[in-house]
Every structure is written in C-alpha cells, then in structure tokens.
A and B are shown apart, each in its own frame.
Chain A
Amino acid sequence: MKTAFLLLAVAAGALAGCGPARPPSPPAGSSIRLSATLDDPTDVTLRWSGVDPHAAGSAVEFTSDPPGEFAVLQFVPPEQTTFDHRDLMPQTGFCYRLRPYFGPASTIVDVALPPGDFDENAHAKDPDWAAPRAASGAAQRTSIRQPGRPTAGAPTGLRAGIADPNGIVFTWADHATDEEGFLLEAAPAGRPFRVVAVLDPNVTRFGLVTLPEEKHAAYRVRAHYYGASSPLATIHTGG
C-alpha cells in the first residue's frame, strides 16, 4: 500500500511541471520575494526584493523541469533587482529562482598586462597551465559562515602571475573549511566587479585567459556559499 502511494506521489510530482499550475513552495529561511512577469508572449521580466543586505551578490537561475538542473542566467550585484529574459521558447514553462551568495573576499590585486595579442603557442610546453588546482596545505582554516565575523576564512595571499600578454595565473591560500567554492571576480578599468569563473572548493590556483578589455583590471577571489534561495517564480510563455 505504501508503495502504491509512493508511486502516485512520484508520478504526481513528475507531472506537475514548471508552469502556473505548480504553486511555489517558499524555502525555509528565505525572505526574498521574486516575481516573473510576461511582458509579451516570449519576454519575461524578473523582479525581486528582500535579499539579505549582507549578500555579496545573487545567482539568477532557471529551469523548465524541476527538480532538475538549474542553469545560471547571470550573477548579479546586490543593487540589481530586475532581470530581463528575452526571446524565450514558446509555450514552455519556466521556473526561476534567486540564490544569494555570501562569503569573504581576498584583498584586491591590480593587473596590467603587457601589449600583445593572443599567442597560440605561448603554452605549448605546459598546456594545462590554466587548469584549476587544489593545493594541500597547512593554512589555518575556519568557517566562513560565522555570524558577526564576515571576514573569517577569507582567502589570503592572492597573487596574479602574468603567464603571457593575455593570461594570468592566480594563486591564493584557502582558509575556509566550508566553502561551496570560489568565485574569481574581475573589474576591468572603470567597470564594476563581475564573476568570471566559478571554481570548486579547495581550489587555490587557476589560470584565466583574458579578454581584450581586461588588459588593465582588478581581481579578487571570494570563498562563497549560497544562502536560502527565493521561492520559485513560474511562468508559461505564449506564442
């Protein structure tokens, strides 16, 4: 009997889909209010409020098939409260969520790359130079989720080694015991910081191939974790 009900519940969940017929369930601990508005049959605007002011930013994510895989649409800074999702698949259900992220960042390093275009032979002898690497080390570590201690566990010793005119190798010391990963953030001259790489926990070395506008940029690395995500905002496109 229990098996029959379980199968029914599973089937019901599978049939629920990602559309207006599926009411969002607010996750515990989330104060975020997220709405999705259909501006025309295939254009959606997301609006939100209530993000924890201590969040370093948020990931705007979507899926058409919960509880399946979510894709990140954009990492947004704390002051951003809207996102436009345009030219969408017609007659399709979309589920959105906002996931704020927290965690301490390293000090900032400024990098000025020498002139020169991308050189395809620059690393012929070390093709793996950019691969993320985790170093086993004896660095002192602590939790990055301690209330009232926003800088605890911050990465230290961030260094930017110029690998070539369009490549930088970043290294840092990991002092976090409970990060969900590291975010490498870049601010080209005159622009705000944005996430340029999402790295696994314990990574302490990563190579970045830069864009032309990143000849002069500031960088930092953040040990991060996600807070409670918003309730799902669901919409069904027309068209």
Chain B
Amino acid sequence: MFPDQEVDVRTRLRVLAGSAVALTLLAVASPPAFAEVEPGGWTSYSPSFKTQQKGCGSIDNLTFKLTCSNSSGEQRAERRYDTYSSGTRQFEGYFKITSMSGKRISLKQTFKTTGPFFLLAVERGGRLYAVEDGDTVATGATVGTSVRVNTVHVVGDELRVYINGSLKYTLDSPSGSFYDKFGAYRTASGQGPITVQWSGIKFWHK
C-alpha cells in the first residue's frame, strides 16, 4: 500500500470509528423510534403470509377489492399470516377505503384456528364495529382518509384494539392458536363492493 493510501485509509477508519462512537452515544441518549404502541421490549418481525381470493375478491399488492354486490357466497380478498400460539403480538397497519357502496365488510381479523375471535368490520358511512358482538369500535372511516389500526394480543389474556392511537376495544382472549388477516371480506350480513388500500404493515412480538 502506498503512503498516501495508508493515510487515506487511516483517516477513513478514524471517521468511521468516530461515527460509531457518536452513533452509540446517540442511541443511549434518545428513545427508540418505533411506531409500535404500549411500553417497549418489542421485537420487530416479518411473518409469512398467503393470499386468499375467493368469489369476486381480488388483490393487487396491498389493494384489496370486492367487485360484486353478492350477499351470499364467499367473497374474500385477504392476506392470512402465520399462526402463533403464545406471547404478545402486535399488528400495525393503515387502511384507506377509496370506494365503498356495500356494507358490513371485515377489514382486519385476529382469528382463532378453531373459529372467529375478533373481526373488525366497516359499515356504510364509516362506522367500524366488532362483528362478534356488534359493538361500535370507532367512527370516521371516511372515504379517502387513512386510518391507523394497532392490535395488541396477549394470548390467553386480552386483545386490545387501537384506532388512530386511541384504545377503542378490548376483548378477553383464550389460549390457543391465532393468526392475523387483513384485506376485505364479506361478513355473513354484508356485501361489496369495496376497494381498500392497506399500507405501513408492521408486526412485533414480545
């Protein structure tokens, strides 16, 4: 190596070392910048998923559509994520309804492998409700605006649902195996059409 190159390398190494020290100090001084809710200790992860398209459901990346107004039959366009059976799981995502002339369409589910557990659905006019008990979860899912959803599921204890940062719904949780789904799905009393765009999908566990 030539002397000039040695100096250049040493300079680069000093800069990198200094940057590493500064970065470490900064990491100690600043709180973590994660968007997940509730106290920390979360680990980000990327579960695998499968897409499910039935009837008039169609999926284009993160845009989910039901293109028919059929009030019977399986009409579904969803992502179904890997099953989990323990710990605390958090989901975060944003949805935006760009068109909806139907009613009572499920947008996000935490589903037990043995049957329904929590289904978040949208009624015409933008009311979000829990399908199993019909309770209103939130209002204001205006066409064209993004709505943030966080679900925190403590297996065997509780499921908490946050809409736009506010705790809106809680549900006791049994033990067992569960999985997350989101997209657009016709509930038993619902129908399309609907077009919904999801974004900012994240998962954590602890």
Contact = CB atoms under 8 A, between A and B. Distances in A.
Contacts of B148: 69, 71
B123 to A, nearest CB: 9
B85 interface: no
B175 interface: no
Contacts of B103: 118, 120, 209
Interface residues of A, number: 61
B26 to A, nearest CB: 5
A123 B162 CA distance: 34
A72 B138 CA distance: 14
B16 A129 contact: no
Nearest to A122: B69
Contacts of A85: 165-166
Interface of A: 1, 4-5, 7-8, 11-12, 14-19, 21, 42, 62-65, 68-75, 85-94, 118, 120-121, 123-124, 127-132, 166-167, 181, 195-200, 207, 209-211
A68 B35 CA distance: 9
Interface of B: 11-12, 15-16, 19, 22-23, 26-27, 30-35, 37-40, 67-69, 71, 94, 98-101, 103, 124-125, 140, 142-148, 150, 162, 164-168, 191-193, 195, 199-200
25 contacts: A4-B12, A4-B19, A5-B15, A8-B19, A12-B26, A15-B27, A15-B30, A16-B30, A17-B32, A42-B167, A71-B94, A74-B140, A86-B166, A87-B166, A88-B166, A89-B38, A90-B37, A92-B37, A120-B191, A124-B69, A128-B67, A167-B101, A197-B142, A197-B144, A198-B144
Contact of A132 (B98, B164, B166): B98
A117 B40 CA distance: 48
Contacts of A5: 15, 19
